[in-house]
């Protein structure tokens, strides 16, 4: 499975949206250089309050551009970076990936998928109804979280829009994504 990067974003401060950049630098074991969520331990405010020394499993946030298209069809206006993601992808079914999948963001960066982003009420502060728009239920009534995935950085590298993405699945049995 292959895809591409359509946008990269970062912000030094803890804000909901992140402005697009021409490039971002991924740092092994830390995250995105110059981003508020950079660090070996949790950097998300809600998690710091609960478990300040827990490992940072949310170093890089990825969202599929197809979600932005789906939201546009539902009447929302959401551009890359506006839901806080660092990397916007195209052509990779991020939500179907198992935990432990490695994504090679060419030419050299590698991230490992740790889990799902758990959407929060900040989405509704950004645009009314957006929280419900990124949640769904499957035919068995199970909750589907569509607001992207989280990853840790395994190998340094620069990432730019247009860079190819190569997917490397982990050994079986695959573990489905859970919120992190």
Write the DSSP string, 17-32: S--EES-EEEETTTEE
Query: 99-152 pLDDT, tens per residue?
Result: 999 999 989 999 999 999 999 889 999 999 999 999 999 999 999 999 999 999
Containing 70, the helix (H) or strand (E) segment is helix 65-73
Alpha-carbon distances of 103 from 68, 79, 112, 120, 180, rounded to whole Å: 21, 23, 6, 25, 18
Give the 3-state secondary structure of 80-117. CCCCCCCEEEECCCHHHCCCCCEEEECCCEEEEEEEEC
Structure tokens of 134?
A: 């990124």
Kindly tell me if the per-residue pLDDT of 1 is higher than 80: no
Top CATH class, 2-168: mainly beta
Q: How far apart are CA 60 and CA 180, in angstroms?
A: 12
- The 8-class DSSP code of residue 51 comes to -
Percent of the chain with pLDDT over 70: 100
* Cβ-Cβ contacts under 8 Å for 88 (sequence gap 6 or more): 5, 6, 7, 8, 9, 62, 63, 64, 65, 68, 80, 81
Query: 58-86 pLDDT, tens per residue?
Result: 999 999 999 999 999 999 999 999 999 99
Q: How far apart are CA 150 and CA 10, in angstroms?
A: 14
Cβ atoms within 10 Å, residue 141: 6
């Amino acid at each position: 499975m292959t895809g591409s990067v359509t946008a990269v974003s970062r912000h030094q401060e803890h804000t909901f949206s992140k402005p697009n950049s021409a490039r971002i630098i991924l740092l092994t074991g830390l995250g995105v250089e110059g981003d508020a969520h950079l660090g070996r331990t949790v950097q998300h405010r809600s998690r710091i309050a609960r478990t300040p020394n827990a490992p940072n499993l949310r170093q890089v946030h990825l969202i599929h551009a197809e979600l932005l298209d789906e939201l546009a069809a539902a009447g929302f206006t959401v551009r890359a970076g506006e839901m806080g993601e660092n990397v916007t992808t195209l052509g990779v079914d991020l939500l179907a990936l198992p935990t432990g999948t490695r994504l090679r963001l060419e030419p050299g960066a590698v991230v490992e998928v740790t889990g799902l982003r758990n959407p929060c009420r900040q989405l509704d502060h950004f645009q009314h109804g957006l929280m419900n728009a990124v949640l769904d239920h499957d035919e068995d009534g199970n909750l589907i979280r569509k607001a992207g995935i989280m990853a840790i950085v395994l190998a340094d590298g620069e990432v730019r829009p247009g860079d190819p993405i190569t997917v490397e699945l982990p050994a079986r049995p695959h573990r489905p994504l859970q919120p992190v």
